[in-house]
Structure 1
């Protein structure tokens, strides 16, 4: 028998999950609730199933409710859902990478099982993600009975669920910032430093690319400590000191960034030596 699922919030993540679950079978999409009738209809068109609604009191009872709303709306949406729909025995989960399932306390108080499911992807192009979702890692946490239902459903649409510690959810989300956002910041510093030495920007990109690509490939193939190279890995702290001074004289904020990276890189080098 198919599981009934309501979708509350239908941005990129919600639409993709709705389409994939509807395609896979075994899930009947019930209502799709968004802030306006027009956006709800657009979401239903993308998902290919469901009934568009724009008020919580239009939602019907379902076995699963997905809160695919912004982080600042999760608590509000959960409370509104609990006030409008009987939740006893159902599953309520959200898709935030930064917040734990504990933010669904209103649903838990109403008798629901709660969880969070965070697909680790960029959803800038929802149609492309839906067509190439296989292998997508999803950080999951929450009530064991909820995960017992959600994990097989995620695996059926090609996801790779990874259990995480709910108490470390914010640190888990910061991992993506380190792996993506801050990596871009450090590469920007490298490109600007090349340009300060007279290298044209387009050439600087070509010079930095093989270093960056090979370093990342080595991290994922060998581990971070083994992949580390350069003056700190060699114990050449005199060179490090000269570089820090030169970078600070050229551009003080970038010098601060260089300085702040010395200690953690030195600690990583100690692991390499061991």
Structure 2
């Protein structure tokens, strides 16, 4: 049986004035909470019910030692760092530039964990007050979860940059290529969300048209030979994907059909 998260503490101090720290502080204030900070390195940290560390992973342990005497519950926003030095974690599953509005967390996922029931309930409450959807990720699976997030965001940008470079060699300006390719990227992602990668796959590899892939490879080599290893690895992975049996969806039961 699920239980409601504990009420949020009355005061939250944010440590870390980077991209996420600033946006998070603004969003929590907008939600009506008492927020202190974000504080930078060397700032005097006031006593608060909760301190949330929005610092680089390598700085969490040091920041935690400084913050611990000033709070009852200490958390971080890292997706990969375990809970060795804190009580809970909340990792917004989104990319931030620091310019987002207060509703930037609405509808996104937020990976949470806690060393105690109270700590986990606090992480869940923070996620919900931000409008995010909390889901549990324990320390044993944290690196895998974070790798999935990086593949879906950071590594995708490397692929898009490669596309931009090849388009530039074909005579298309970078700003124009981004504008032209964006609808294709968006539709591809929409199809993936609806059906999964195998059924969303189109193009020469899906059709078994290796002659076209070979011509594409020559064009990539002419644009920048350094891109060939990436192109070859992506093509190899896509061939595996194309051979994968499409996922089947079980027919609804009579009860489900009536729902």
Aligned to 2:44: 55
Q: Compute the displacement of 1:99 (Å).
A: 1.8
CA distance in 2, matches of 1:134, 1:207: 29
Aligned to 2:81: 99
Aligned to 1:14: 21
Contact 1:94 1:115 in 2 (8 A): yes
Write the deviation string for residues 75-127 of structure 1: whole angstroms up to 9, x where unpaired.
Answer: 00112234x34x6xx3211012332323x1xx5xxxxxx1111123344345x
Aligned to 2:40: 34
SS of 2:51 mapped into structure 1 = strand
Write the deviation string for residues 139-197 of structure 1: whole angstroms up to 9, x where unpaired.
Answer: 21232511123213421331211222423323333333322333232223223323434
RCO (CA 8 Å, sep 6+): is it higher in 1 or 2? 2
Alignment of 1:77-88 (within 5 A): 77-82=63-68, 84-85=69-70
SS of 1:117 mapped into structure 2 = strand
Contact 2:168 2:177 in 1 (8 A): yes
Write the deviation string for residues 213-237 of structure 1: whole angstroms up to 9, x where unpaired.
Answer: 3212211222111111112212233
Aligned to 2:204: 231
Q: Compute the displacement of 1:207 (Å).
A: 4.4
Contact 1:5 1:66 in 2 (8 A): no
Alignment of 1:156-195 (within 5 A): 156-195=129-168
Aligned to 1:266: 239
SS of 1:130 mapped into structure 2 = coil
Alignment of 1:90-169 (within 5 A): 90-102=72-84, 104=85, 107=86, 114-125=87-98, 128-145=100-117, 146-169=119-142
Which moved further from structure 2: 244-253 or 72-81? 244-253
CA distance in 2, matches of 1:99, 1:203: 39
Aligned Cα root-mean-square deviation (Å): 3.1
Q: Compute the displacement of 1:64 (Å).
A: 2.3
Q: Compute the displacement of 1:206 (Å).
A: 5.0
Size of the aligned set, in residue pairs, is: 239
SS of 1:129 mapped into structure 2 = coil
Write the deviation string for residues 24-63 of structure 1: whole angstroms up to 9, x where unpaired.
Answer: 45x5557875335xxxxxxxxxxxxxxxxx335xx43x44
CA distance in 1, matches of 2:227, 2:183: 22
CA distance in 2, matches of 1:71, 1:93: 12
Which moved further from structure 2: 244-253 or 136-145? 244-253
* TM-score, normalised by the number of residues in structure 2: 0.75
Contact 1:6 1:32 in 2 (8 A): no
Q: Compute the displacement of 1:253 (Å).
A: 1.0
SS of 2:75 mapped into structure 1 = strand
Q: Compute the displacement of 1:10 (Å).
A: 4.0
CA distance in 2, matches of 1:95, 1:255: 36
